[in-house]
């Protein structure tokens, strides 16, 4: 049985899909790799941003609930997402780029911290790693300065030791330091760290993380579910999300975890060079297209033909 291969994807919540699309493709330089709907509530968008190939390890997703009030991270919630960059020079670049977009940031040695327009916390880390950079192409961002995929996340908890046995025994996480764990597989790794929760009550809403998913092979997926159960977890049955298969459960500190398979992938229903251009509906909801599509606000294609990557097919 192979170890979990770090973070598969992270899903958060937005109140405005159009503004969200403009920020993550326009400012952050990620590629929209799938424009679909929340399969548990197909009346709302589910947007997936990632590298050029839509690779697990770089996949940041958002559910849109139009007009939803801002949330507030608290106990049992992830409050900061860490992304890798290749150098301190990249941190300089991102500090200036974010400032140009009206986003304040704070530099602390090898990291740059900021919040997205809805208050979702991020930090960019310039750390030496062996993992392959997962990069999207953007005409304004040199490839060597681009985002390179997830480094890890930080979560709030009121009981830092409550999850220790579960993370080790059920999921195979290893200790990196006090309250910091690592999930590392054949090709990638990601940290999972705890901070003391604030006194204020957690509040889900726009600008908060809904769940974090960890990468499993298709062959080992059912076995991971068994291990979660044996360690006292309460996972859902395996759910076929068409682009991957999933199980969901809460780890003892309250954070919602998913274990998702690597594959079948986002090219299952549209060509790789045209990912994200059209509304994709998995087979389970395709029959509802006539009811779903009129209720969704039209979103622009963030990749116009003139902006296609040199050497790639025009979108």
* 261 neighbors 244 (Cβ within 8 angstroms): yes
Report pLDDT digits (tens) over 5-36: 999 999 999 999 999 999 999 999 999 999 99
Query: What is the average pLDDT across 285-302?
Result: 95
Give the DSSP per-residue string, 114-128. EE-TT--EEEEE---
In this predicted structure, the answer to whether residue 223 has a pLDDT above a threshold of 50 is yes
What is the percentage of the chain residues whose pLDDT exceeds 90?
A: 92
Per-residue tokens: 152: 């890890």
Report pLDDT digits (tens) over 65-112: 999 999 999 999 999 999 999 999 999 999 999 999 999 999 999 999
82: burial class by Cβ within 10 Å (0-12, 13-18, 19+)?
Answer: buried
pLDDT for 308 equals 52
Query: What is the average pLDDT across 266-281?
Result: 96
pTM of the predicted structure, to 2 decimals: 0.96
Decide which of 160 and 147 is more confident. Answer: 147
Query: What is the average pLDDT across 198-203?
Result: 96
pLDDT for 313 equals 41
Supply φ then ψ for residue 89, to 5 degrees.
-60, -35
In this predicted structure, the answer to whether residue 45 has a pLDDT above a threshold of 80 is yes
3-class DSSP assignment, residue 229: helix
Tell me, which fold does domain 7-307 have in CATH?
Answer: 2,3-Dihydroxybiphenyl 1,2-Dioxygenase; domain 1 (3.10.180)
Give, for 36, the enclosing helix (H) or strand (E): strand 31-38
In this predicted structure, the answer to whether residue 37 has a pLDDT above a threshold of 60 is yes
DSSP state of 162: T
């Amino acid at each position: 049985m192979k170890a979990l291969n770090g973070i598969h994807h992270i899903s958060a919540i937005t109140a405005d899909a159009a503004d969200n699309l403009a920020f993550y493709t326009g400012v952050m330089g990620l590629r929209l790799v799938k424009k679909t709907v929340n399969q548990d509530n197909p009346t709302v968008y589910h947007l997936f941003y990632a590298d050029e190939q839509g690779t697990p390890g770089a996949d940041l997703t958002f559910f849109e609930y139009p007009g939803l009030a801002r949330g507030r991270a608290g106990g049992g919630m992830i409050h900061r997402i860490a992304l890798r960059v290749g150098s301190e020079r990249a941190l300089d670049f991102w500090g200036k780029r974010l400032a140009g977009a009206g986003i304040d940031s704070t530099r602390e040695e090898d990291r740059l911290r900021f919040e997205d327009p809805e208050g979702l916390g991020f930090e960019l880390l310039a750390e030496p790693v062996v993992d392959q950079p997962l990069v999207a192409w953007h005409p304004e961002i040199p490839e060597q300065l681009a985002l390179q995929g997830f480094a890890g996340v930080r979560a709030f908890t009121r009981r830092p030791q409550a999850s220790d046995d579960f993370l080790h025994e059920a999921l195979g996480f290893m200790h990196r330091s006090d309250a910091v764990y690592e999930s590392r597989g054949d090709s990638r790794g990601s940290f999972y760290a705890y901070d003391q929760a604030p006194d204020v009550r957690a509040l889900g809403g726009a600008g908060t993380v809904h769940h974090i998913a960890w990468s499993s092979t298709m062959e080992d997926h059912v076995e991971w579910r068994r291990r979660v159960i044996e360690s006292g977890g309460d996972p859902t049955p395996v759910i076929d999300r068409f682009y991957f298969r999933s199980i969901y459960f809460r780890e003892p500190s309250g954070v919602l975890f998913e274990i998702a398979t690597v594959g079948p992938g986002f090219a299952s229903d549209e060509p790789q060079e045209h990912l994200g251009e059209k509304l994709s509906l998995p087979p389970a909801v395709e029959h509802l297209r006539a009811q779903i599509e009129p209720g969704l606000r039209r979103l622009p294609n963030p990749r116009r033909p003139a902006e296609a990557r040199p050497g790639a097919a025009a979108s």
